[in-house]
A and B are shown apart, each in its own frame.
Chain A
């Protein structure tokens, strides 16, 4: 591409955007700690924690690690493979709930 600059994007992120992302990360963390304090019950806790953690991960990957501003082909090369492989591992998780019932 004839107008590629060093970083193939619009340039570095503004300080304001960086600070906004950082603030959201801190807010989500505070909510997670609050959930632990309030003791909402294991299943709800796990669901909410995983949900928040995935959002935090997405924020870090997209903004701090800059993937939001990279070529789509790079995102498609990295992310789907990683997500599918993690899902393959997670599929076995249902087993753990049954093992207790099997009395092993």
Chain B
């Protein structure tokens, strides 16, 4: 549906054209999905917190340097990618094709940088013997919860990057409109939102001070 026909549909209240909550259907659909996904992550996070408190001898292996510094950098990158996403949505809404694509690509770049840094961190941990099922420093639950949580989040980052690239391509080819960009933005902000909880609960609570 084009922007102008959607505008008309919204105006014809009795013409069968009203939209739910005055937003496009795709936006409502994405919001409902986001709420359900938030509950999935909440379940995992609360389970992690529960296990952590109920398990004696939970390791706290993350040194301030380099681990916490790297994780903080990753947080900065993700927050900045949310910034570029908002700027991209703004550009789409004023029909600035060039800047919409550019800001969306910058956002995807942020996601890619995040994945590279995170992947390096994972490689380091695996090298030290921590995996989804093992943990040389104590309970194997540490590895399970860490990789489970960050793994599911990383999967969302990955799919988000793919989504962003498709949107950037499609918007430049005029296949998608500003609403599609905005809905993609919602998904990306959700990915950032989850990290706002994963970062403190998984990293900051497990700092090793010598």
Per a CB cutoff under 8 Å, which of B11, B54, B64 touches A100?
B54
Chain A proximity mask over B154-187: 1 for CB below 8 Å, otherwise 0: 0000000000000000000000001100100110
Q: By the criterion CB–CB under 8 Å, are A6 and B6 in contact? A: yes
Q: Which of B35-43, B112-120, B121-129, B133-141 contacts A (4 or more CB under 8 A)?
A: B35-43
Q: List B residues 178-210 near A (Cβ within 8 Å).
A: 178-179, 182, 185-186, 189-190, 192-193, 196-197, 199-201, 203-205, 207, 209
Assuming the A-B contacts A12-B90, A26-B79, are A81 and B46 also in contact, with contact meaning beta carbons closer than 8 angstroms in the complex? no
Nearest-neighbour CB distance to chain A for B155, whole angstroms, equals: 20
Is B108 positioned at the interface, with any CB of A under 8 Å from its CB? no
Number of A-B contacts (CB under 8 A): 144
Contact A60 B90 (CB under 8 A): no
Q: Which of A32, A33, A45, A57 has most chain B Cβ within 10 Å?
A: A33
Main DSSP-derived SS at the A contact region = helix
Count of A residues near B, CB < 8 Å?
56
Per-residue CB contact flags for chain A residues 56-75 toward chain B (1 = under 8 Å, else 0) read: 11001100111000110110
A65 contacts across to B, CB distance below 8 A? 185-186, 189-190
- Which of B3, B11, B94 contacts A12 (CB under 8 A)? B94
Q: Which B positions have Cβ atoms within 8 angstroms of A?
A: 3, 6-7, 10-11, 13, 21-23, 28, 31-32, 35, 38-39, 42-43, 46, 49-51, 53-54, 56, 64, 68, 72, 75-76, 79-80, 82-83, 85-87, 89-90, 93-94, 178-179, 182, 185-186, 189-190, 192-193, 196-197, 199-201, 203-205, 207, 209
Closest 7 CB pairs of A and B: A8-B22, A74-B21, A49-B200, A96-B54, A36-B204, A12-B90, A96-B53
